[in-house]
With several copies, the nearest count.
Chain A
Amino acid sequence: MFTKVLVANRGEIAIRIIRALKELGIRSVAVYSTADKNALHTRIADEKVCIGSAQSKNSYLNAPALISAAQIKGVDAIHPGYGFLSEDAGFAEVCEAAGIKFIGPKPQDIELMGNKLKAREHVNKLGIQVMPGTFQEIEDEQHAIRIAKEIGLPLMVKAAEGGGGRGMKIIYDEDQIPNIIKIARAEAKTAFGNTSLYIEKYFENVRHVEIQIIGDGNGGVVSLGERECSIQRRHQKFIEESPSVAVDDKLRNKMNDAALRITKHINYRGVGTIEFLLDEKGKFYFMEMNTRLQVEHPVTEFVTGMDIVAEQINIAGGQKMSVSQKDIKLKGHAIECRINAEDPETLVPSSGIIHTYIQPGGPWVRVDGHVYCGYEVPPYYDSLIAKLIVWAEDRDSAIRRMQRSLDEFIIEGIKTNIPLHKKILASKEFLLGNISTRFIEKFI
């Protein structure tokens, strides 16, 4: 196993990983930008090193600085967390070339799944239903119009190198096509350094349901069940739960089976998530695979009793998987609310000094956060400041537990989305589980 690991991330996920490392008896090295000098992850890690200035490209996205930091600290492995370089096949390769284990999938798997068109092709060949749409990139506007006629409006234009909800545009009208293609291409170039686009059918009344899997790279892959992630805002997940009210045992088996086929076929190593759209008739479509740890992994930890991050580290360190599929049973119900430092009306990120910070606690309440009283939220990074996760015997009890936890959560000095979470949790439609990816849009 590893003796020292560098965590190439910040915020709550850096803390989550450092916690797992400590519990496994592995020394942890935090990296930080000059803006994160007082960040909590630098305080709880065993060692820390400043890798660059505030802008992510100079620090958390600065691969040479990260490798250099890993070398001067003499680590065995790098954990990339999520976001930043976690799905960068090139970074994974550079790590391995430098003799540092990358705690994540094999570079070729990151690459295969990172290109959404290749991933669609891979999955389609296995006979698993993918989202209706193209398997080639869009050549030009005329090509896009031909596709639109073929599969019918509305459509969604996506960046081939995008993912995680970024770089997506909806087309409701054929006339919009030339314009949207132009904008999407420009955005894709800026965001992903690649202008490749493709088109999928856009479904309106669907759920986003994903399957958490974990593989040991030796053909062993286990599914940890589904997460319901339909409550989204601007394609960003907002509330996640497990299990999904729309998934019964039969459907769960089918989805697990599809996820396992997709990943077993490539002998997948590490944690990953297969994202599906689920329609009202119980038919599901492959959207994409995320080849990394996900923000919402705690809901699965709560219902399975499995420490996903520890398992991920152990597998990367060469250990065997600690569970087999028959050990996995979902017990009770877990819900996660993402607490963001943002204006609940405008969604504009809110930076500033937190002068009151009182966390909820008590039974089956988990907070994965990284801020504290007196901390200044810097304006440079993601607005997620804490994940509030609860578990209870059943969904109704979990909702009530989440409601009282949101009531207890006092953050002053910056704006947060807590009021919106409270509104959603108190709504009849949420309580009934009548949700879709357009829930918040219709709700506000």
Chain B
Amino acid sequence: MDIHEIEELIGLIENKDIMEIEYSKGDEKIRIVRAVEITKKAGKTPQERPDEMPGTLHPDTDEGNAFISVNSPFVGTFYCAPSPSEKPFVEIGTKVKKGQTIGIVEAMKLMNAIEADADGAIKQILKKDGDPVEFGEPLFIIDPEG
């Protein structure tokens, strides 16, 4: 093992949740122990978090209450009502049941119903009628205890 291989080995454990590594082959042996306090949290930078998928849980910042974000499953145009002349599906405070249609995302003339992921109350509507939305963009926040 030369210095570069050792360096590589250190690089390897630095990025992982590894405390100690020991390796031997023939008469060669190496053991590396990591410093305790400065163990970087799993080496993950915020950029490397897995992406939010539609309908994932979003632990909110205020008092740990877990709100649910309903994300767009398509890139397209968001509509809050079945047609321009009709009333919106929901408003802030509306009580909803899981599976209930709460909005529409249009992609290539196809209207895709957006359904509530859980029972609760609409806490926030993040997009306005006609807004373009990307895949995975949060559209609604539902308070399951609301």
On A, residues with C-beta under 8 Å from B are 34-35, 37-38, 49-54, 59, 64-65, 67-69, 71-73, 98, 353, 355, 374, 376, 412-413
Q: Which of B43, B48, B53 is A53 in contact with, Cβ under 8 Å?
A: B53
A374 touches B45 (CB 8 A): yes
B48 touches A376 (CB 8 A): yes
Shortest B144–chain A CB gap in Å is 24
State the majority secondary structure of interface residues on B. loop
> Measured between alpha carbons, how far is A34 from B53 in the docked complex, in Å?
9
- B135 within 8 A of partner (CB): yes
Shortest B14–chain A CB gap in Å is 9
> Measured between alpha carbons, how far is A412 from B76 in the docked complex, in Å?
35
Shortest B75–chain A CB gap in Å is 5
Tell me which residues across on chain B come within 8 A of A413, comparing CB atoms. Answer: 11
Tell me which residues across on chain B come within 8 A of A67, comparing CB atoms. Answer: 107-108
A51 touches B135 (CB 8 A): yes
B47 touches A68 (CB 8 A): no
**A64-B107, A69-B75, A72-B77 known; A53-B51 Cβ under 8 A:** yes
State the majority secondary structure of interface residues on A. mixed
- B146 within 8 A of partner (CB): no
A412 touches B8 (CB 8 A): yes
A68 touches B136 (CB 8 A): no
Q: Which of A34, A37, A68 is B74 in contact with, Cβ under 8 Å?
A: A68
> Measured between alpha carbons, how far is A69 from B108 in the docked complex, in Å?
9
Shortest A59–chain B CB gap in Å is 8
Shortest A44–chain B CB gap in Å is 16
Top 7 A-B residue pairs of the complex, sorted by shortest distance between their CB atoms = A34-B51, A72-B132, A68-B107, A50-B134, A68-B76, A50-B135, A38-B47
21 contacts between A and B (CB under 8 A): A34-B53, A35-B51, A37-B47, A50-B136, A51-B75, A52-B135, A59-B135, A64-B74, A64-B107, A65-B75, A65-B107, A68-B106, A69-B75, A71-B76, A72-B75, A72-B77, A72-B133, A353-B15, A355-B15, A376-B45, A376-B48
